[in-house]
Homo-oligomer: A and B are copies of this chain.
Amino acid sequence: MVGYRLVSREYCDKPTVVDVLGVKIGSGAPPVIIAGPCAVESREQLMETARLVRDSGAQFLRGGAFKPRTSPYSFQGLAQKGLEYLAEARKETGLKVITEVMDADSLDIVAGCADVFQIGSRNMQNFHLLRAVGRYNKPVLLKRGLAATVDEWLNAAEYIVQEGNSNVILCERGIRTFENYTRNTLDLSAVGAVKYFSHLPVIVDPSHATGKRHLIGSMSMAAVAAGADGLMIEVHPTPDTAQCDGEQSLNPSQYLNLISEVVKLAHFLRTSRASYNEFY
């Protein structure tokens, strides 16, 4: 349908580069790495992971203090305690923190430790929340809804930008299809589609998309080759004991191996592919 305007290429043909306290996300900048556990589970788990993430050269720490879960009886996150651990990890490692905010009432407390607000897939069309983060002076990572078209996703971004906050980063994390081997179907074409229609940066989350540890490596490489502006990867000191989504978390050595490959690929593409944007 196309009901968006401010996020469109027609409105601004120059790619937006979102600056998070000096770290740049967007066209022209090397792809950023956002890594960490699915959920903050304990002080030890988070600090150990944060140091690993810092040592890998990544720029961002991810980790959920508030977890949206299908069942009310599943682990819902450590909430306030989780935020405190994130703040501590940020302070010690210097990593920027991305964490999910699930409702407008929690914005202020989440803002205390978050450098980027994450809006999860289930909230992609929670317009009240979109407007609320749109009035906040903090970058927003907007995950694609699990059955959202690219058009609907860009319209959701428009709700944020229209309120005054133009620092929106999109995140492709898989869509729901009939295929049930993978948790979702990673739609890498969306990277190119977003860049065709919009000036906003777009990153890829292969962990939630595939839900399978053995696919994260190839999908991370593919995402970077497709032109993604960053990756969001789940890593856990001991995936087998994770309280949620352990099946899709890398262990530390797998993670370090992957980051090393990804960085080399990104470097190659930047030097080789001067003409990339003139493909067509």
Bound Cα distance A179, B147 (Å): 8
A158, B71: Cβ atoms under 8 Å?
yes
The residue from B69, B128, B265 contacting A225, defined by CB atoms under 8 A apart: B265
For A70, what are the chain B residues with a Cβ–Cβ distance below 8 Å?
1, 3, 125, 151-152, 155
Contact of A177 with B by CB under 8 A: yes
Whose C-beta in chain B lies nearest to the C-beta of A186? B189
Bound Cα distance A129, B217 (Å): 36
A181, B193: Cβ atoms under 8 Å?
yes
Bound Cα distance A262, B69 (Å): 39
Shortest C-beta distance, A202 to chain B (Å), equals: 11
Contact of A149 with B by CB under 8 A: yes
- A97-132 vs B, CB cutoff 8 Å, 1 = contact: the mask equals 000001111000000000000000011011111000
Bound Cα distance A272, B267 (Å): 12
Chain A count of residues within 8 A CB distance of the other chain: 81
Bound Cα distance A192, B221 (Å): 12
Determine, out of A21-29, A30-38, A208-216, the stretch whose residues face the partner at the interface.
A208-216
Query: A1-B71, A128-B105 are known contacts. Are A185 and B182 too (CB-CB below 8 A)?
Result: no
Determine, out of A53-61, A230-238, A253-261, the stretch whose residues face the partner at the interface.
A253-261
Question: Which of A194-218 touch B at CB < 8 Å?
Answer: 196, 209-210, 212-215, 217-218
B125, A103: Cβ atoms under 8 Å?
no
Query: A104-B103, A187-B185, A275-B257 are known contacts. Are A213 and B280 too (CB-CB below 8 A)?
Result: yes
Shortest C-beta distance, A143 to chain B (Å), equals: 13
